[in-house]
């Protein structure tokens, strides 16, 4: 890998002093004023958790408003100069924008602010780089980082622009830039080939697991809603389950015994988040394939989160992107132990056909887990009936 690529992949892992910038854009929050403010504050709070999850030290937050992004600096020139002054005063190493920035905007902001600038996509990639433990996870993260980096290489060569030659001649800046681009393209190709091999291996493992015709259930949901904690509680596994965004990146599959007649394969998957970068979804195709090929999705929701309905919508957007939108879902409303007793819903909710549609649980105290097992048994049996019908036809 090129020197610039290595620097980009390692610099974000060190603890840095971060100033977070959140911009309330009219297009992002096209609702009434009171609701717009609530949604923006929720998005900004999530961004602060993302910064902390990256291992950085959050030392300042600057919220602001704009009708639309400035093409050169995202924020206006006056606000950018205010950012530069604040960054200098409190000795900021890194300014993070809770938005996707163009390469030009990043380059212009770095020149003006005199420090590194990272957008929301880069921040999520930095977190994934810290959390990926398996070979597959690391390959997927590296691929996503290189794809993101490839459009931003020009930032490293600004000091060589004046050395370019005339027509038919290439200066050292352009030569080095194109060399790095070629090396990154080659590395991306190799990574994609390696991940194709991983997908083939995973398909072989899946075929071996499915020889017993066990229904496949996949835990999905917004990041940090309790998926891994639920997985551990049900399967007695020891998957990392922390009160942090993106604590789980690597798939884990276990056989889950439900009763004497019913067992299923249960997989824990990476959590989703608002505006999950398309490139990251594409890079994690091998991991997300486990979700797309499941028979039933167990959609875990933090019922105590003030924007849990929006989180459900955000998850469904990603499911649609990975062609999993039509897979039957069981909504699992988690953390009911945090609700007041008079507000605490319980039991199983069924659809018009009498099939389980939602269930209320608490992984923390075990409330509703018996109902969850009952619902899973019924959904697993429906899958078996369908399989028998296909075999008999």
Residue positions in the annotated binding site for GTP?
Answer: 221-228, 246-250, 268-271, 334-337, 362-364
Supply the DSSP symbol for 327: S
Tell me the CA distances in angstroms from 53 to 39, 89, 124, 145, one per residue in order: 21, 25, 9, 17
Residues 6+ away with beta carbon under 8 Å from 22: 40, 43, 44, 47, 61, 62, 63, 64, 97, 98
Partner residues linked to 298 by β-bridges: 219, 330
Tell me the CA distances in angstroms from 180 to 6, 92, 111, 149, one per residue in order: 11, 29, 22, 11
- DSSP notation for 277-292: -HHHHHHTHHHHHHHH
* Cα(240)–Cα(312) distance, integer angstroms: 23
Angle between helices 135-150 and 172-209 (to 10 degrees): 150
Cite the annotated binding site by residue number: 221-228, 246-250, 268-271, 334-337, 362-364
Cite the annotated binding site for Mg(2+) by residue number: 228, 248
Q: Which two tokens stand for residue 182?
A: 């070629």
Supply the DSSP symbol for 29: -
Vertex 311: Cα angle to 349 and 344 (nearest 5) = 40
The residue written with tokens 């070979």 in the block is 135
Residues in the chain: 393
């Amino acid at each position: 890998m090129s020197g610039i690529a290595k620097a980009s992949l390692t610099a974000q892992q060190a603890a840095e002093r971060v100033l977070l910038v959140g911009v309330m854009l009219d297009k992002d929050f096209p609702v009434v004023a009171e609701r717009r403010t609530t949604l923006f504050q929720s998005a900004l709070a999530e961004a602060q958790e993302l910064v902390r999850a990256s291992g950085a030290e959050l030392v300042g937050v600057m919220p602001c408003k704009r009708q639309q992004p400035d093409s050169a600096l995202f924020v206006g020139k006056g606000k950018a100069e205010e950012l530069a002054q604040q960054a200098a005063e409190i000795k900021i190493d890194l300014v993070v924008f809770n938005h996707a920035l163009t390469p030009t905007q990043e380059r212009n902001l770095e020149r003006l602010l005199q420090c590194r600038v990272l957008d929301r996509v880069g921040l999520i990639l930095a977190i994934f780089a810290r959390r990926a433990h398996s070979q597959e996870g690391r390959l997927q993260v590296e691929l996503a980082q290189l794809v993101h980096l490839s459009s931003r290489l020009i930032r490293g060569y600004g000091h060589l622009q004046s050395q370019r030659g005339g027509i038919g001649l290439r200066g050292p800046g352009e030569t080095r830039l194109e060399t790095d681009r070629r090396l990154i393209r080659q590395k991306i190709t190799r990574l994609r080939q390696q991940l194709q091999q991983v997908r083939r291996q995973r398909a072989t493992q899946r075929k071996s697991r499915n020889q017993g015709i066990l229904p496949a259930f996949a835990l999905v949901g917004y990041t940090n809603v309790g998926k891994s904690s639920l997985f551990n509680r049900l399967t007695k596994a020891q998957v990392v389950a922390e009160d942090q965004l993106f604590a789980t990146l690597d798939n884990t599959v276990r056989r889950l015994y439900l009763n004497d007649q019913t067992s299923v394969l249960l997989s824990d998957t990476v959590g989703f988040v608002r505006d999950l970068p398309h490139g990251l979804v594409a890079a994690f195709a091998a991991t997300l394939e486990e979700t797309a090929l499941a028979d039933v999705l167990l959609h875990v929701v933090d019922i105590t989160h003030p924007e849990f309905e929006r989180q459900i919508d955000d998850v469904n957007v990603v499911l649609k992107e990975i062609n999993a939108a039509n897979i039957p879902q069981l909504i699992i409303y988690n953390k009911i132990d945090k609700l007041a007793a008079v507000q605490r819903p319980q039991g199983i909710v069924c659809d018009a056909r009498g099939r389980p549609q939602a269930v209320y649980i608490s992984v923390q105290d075990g409330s509703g887990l018996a109902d969850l097992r009952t619902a899973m048994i019924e959904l697993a049996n429906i899958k078996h009936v369908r399989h028998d019908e296909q075999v008999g036809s």
